[in-house]
Structure 1
């Protein structure tokens, strides 16, 4: 039920982006990716830590507009919208934001793609304390399980920075190694901020 709801929300978001930014002929690009959910090696490498509590894979489905020429002052970004569905039905999310394709030399080879957006997750914003007084053994066990197996985001609304290293295979097709992070940034919530790191590969098809 939860996954179906997020798939529907994602379809609406992707459709809305396509209608809102499409040229007379369909423009932009679609992407699909497979990611390891809640990886820990990136957070450990940069000293930020990582939750490492949830498992499974994430399927990312998304759409990007062409470069927005009228936003030169912002570096002519592309707008992305996406939905992420977790195979274990834990923390799904939808996101939208800006990203920038930065070619290494002439267009048509390797490139970097940094991005920043906002996301909404159906994951746990707050976990109930397992040491609260008066709990039954069953309830205490349930809360303890959640503590070790669910991320406590602190907020359902989160920042969504991302970074990809891509290679343009042809005019239509690109492949990207992609990293996506979710965090409340101590702005949407003060306190718990375990966050989510996704790392994977995505295929990009230009219309």
Structure 2
């Protein structure tokens, strides 16, 4: 399953690179999956996520919002997802901060209960919010590297009964095209 998703992602990436679209950069990284933070409950998932994405040129005049699409595949058979959103890069000298927000669609079970606690650990809806933030720096003329936090949850808007969420923390590289 993971090989099929990665193959499809690589084909999509190559076709995007070959098209005359206004792509600004491709990105990819490795993330610790289901990191315990104050924003999540234990979903009983683990492993490493491989994330890959594609960012378009900034739009919106002075706002300079940067649309993106990306996907994430979990190494242990946990939650995989694809999504889209917008981000904004703010320079801070030799560093930058890149917050973003989007929506994702995932493949986690629609109902899951922790047998030890009896708490529901499913994500509450198929569509989830995806806030993220990264801190990065340029390491070569066309290459930046970022430490990044990605969160997915329903924010109790799609399901008021529960909202465990999943946090991923990792590192990604961005290649400016």
Q: TM-score when scaled to structure 2?
A: 0.86
Whether 1:58 aligns to 2:58 is no
Partner of 1:160: 130
**Residues 206 and 151 from structure 1, CA distance in 2 versus in 1: closer, same or farther, beyond 3 angstroms?**
farther
Q: Which runs of 5+ in 2 are unaligned?
A: none
Q: Which runs of 5+ in 1 are unaligned?
A: 130-142
Whether 1:77 aligns to 2:47 is no
Partner of 1:99: 87
8 Å CA contact retained: 2:49, 2:74: yes
Partner of 1:37: 33
Q: Secondary structure at the match of 1:202?
A: strand
The CA distance in 1 between the partners of 2:28 and 2:48, in whole Å, is: 13
The CA distance in 1 between the partners of 2:12 and 2:156, in whole Å, is: 26
Q: Tell me how far 1:93 sits from its aligned partner.
A: 0.4
8 Å CA contact retained: 2:40, 2:165: no
8 Å CA contact retained: 2:54, 2:70: yes
Question: Greater Rg, structure 1 or structure 2?
Answer: 1
Partner of 2:21: 22
The CA distance in 2 between the partners of 1:188 and 1:8, in whole Å, is: 32
Deviates more, 1:5-14 or 1:167-176: 5-14
8 Å CA contact retained: 1:177, 1:201: yes
- Deviation readout 1:28-84 (Å, 9 max, x if unpaired): 1111110000001xx23xxx443252110000011111212xx126x1111111110
Partner of 1:132: none
**Residues 17 and 116 from structure 1, CA distance in 2 versus in 1: closer, same or farther, beyond 3 angstroms?**
farther
**Residues 20 and 177 from structure 1, CA distance in 2 versus in 1: closer, same or farther, beyond 3 angstroms?**
same
The CA distance in 1 between the partners of 2:19 and 2:44, in whole Å, is: 37
Q: How many residues align?
A: 177
Structure-to-structure mapping, 1:39-188, within 5 angstroms: 39-40=35-36, 43-44=37-38, 48-51=39-42, 53-68=44-59, 71-72=60-61, 75-105=63-93, 109-127=94-112, 144=115, 151-188=121-158
8 Å CA contact retained: 1:6, 1:92: no
Q: Secondary structure at the match of 2:61?
A: helix
Q: TM-score when scaled to structure 1?
A: 0.74
